């Protein structure tokens, strides 16, 4: 039997923005089919993604984070490590692991930027839901 549940991981950094991805995901997939997991930051997502995918409980795992330049570390390095880890989790388990992890070139903690990225995360969450559903349908057709 193919799982009909979805795991949705959210990084807590910039939660006011990142949580909007779940709002977009809910527009296509009902909340009762989604298990939500919070992690401190983006770097913690790949390991949990792998564990959730390997559990056999989920049709897909979605990981959402907002990786910005904090001035202390190279955010490009973190973003690349996260995306590589998410891809590896999916490839190793055979379960789709989808990224809603965004790394803007320029981000400032202004209300204007926050509004822009909140709206963008809603759209990206909706796109992740579409991708999860499409991959599931395609894989089911291949198995038939």
The predicted structure's pLDDT at residue 71: 58
Please write the tens of the pLDDT for every residue from 95-120.
Answer: 999 999 877 667 667 788 889 889 99
* Alpha carbons 56 and 16: distance in angstroms, whole number: 30
Residue 140, marked binder: no
The predicted structure's pLDDT at residue 1: 56
Residue 36, marked binder: no
Mean pLDDT in the chain?
90
Residue 101, marked binder: no
Residue 66, marked binder: yes
Q: What's the pTM?
A: 0.92
The predicted structure's pLDDT at residue 40: 94
Q: Which of 20, 50, 57, 74 is catalytic?
A: 74
Render each residue's pLDDT in the chain as its tens digit; 144 residues: 567 899 999 999 889 999 999 999 999 999 999 999 999 999 999 999 999 999 999 999 999 998 876 655 566 667 788 899 999 999 999 999 999 987 766 766 778 888 988 999 999 999 999 999 999 999 999 988
Residue 13, marked binder: yes
Annotation marks residue 74 as catalytic: yes
| CATH number for region 6-143 | 3.40.50.960
Structural domain boundaries in the chain: 6-143
């Amino acid at each position: 039997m193919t799982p009909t549940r979805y795991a949705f991981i959210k990084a807590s950094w910039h939660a006011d923005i990142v949580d909007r991805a779940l709002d977009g995901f809910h527009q296509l997939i009902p909340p009762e089919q989604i298990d939500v997991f919070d992690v401190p930051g983006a770097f913690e997502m790949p390991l949990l993604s792998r564990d959730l995918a390997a559990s056999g409980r989920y049709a897909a795992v979605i990981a959402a984070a907002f990786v910005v330049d904090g001035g202390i570390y190279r955010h490009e390095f973190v973003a690349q490590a996260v995306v590589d880890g998410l891809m590896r989790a999916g490839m190793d388990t055979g379960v789709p692991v989808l990224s809603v992890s965004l790394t803007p070139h320029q981000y400032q903690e202004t209300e204007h930027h926050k509004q822009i990225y909140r709206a963008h995360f809603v759209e990206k969450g909706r796109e992740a839901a579409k991708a999860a559903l499409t991959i599931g349908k395609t894989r089911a057709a291949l198995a038939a």
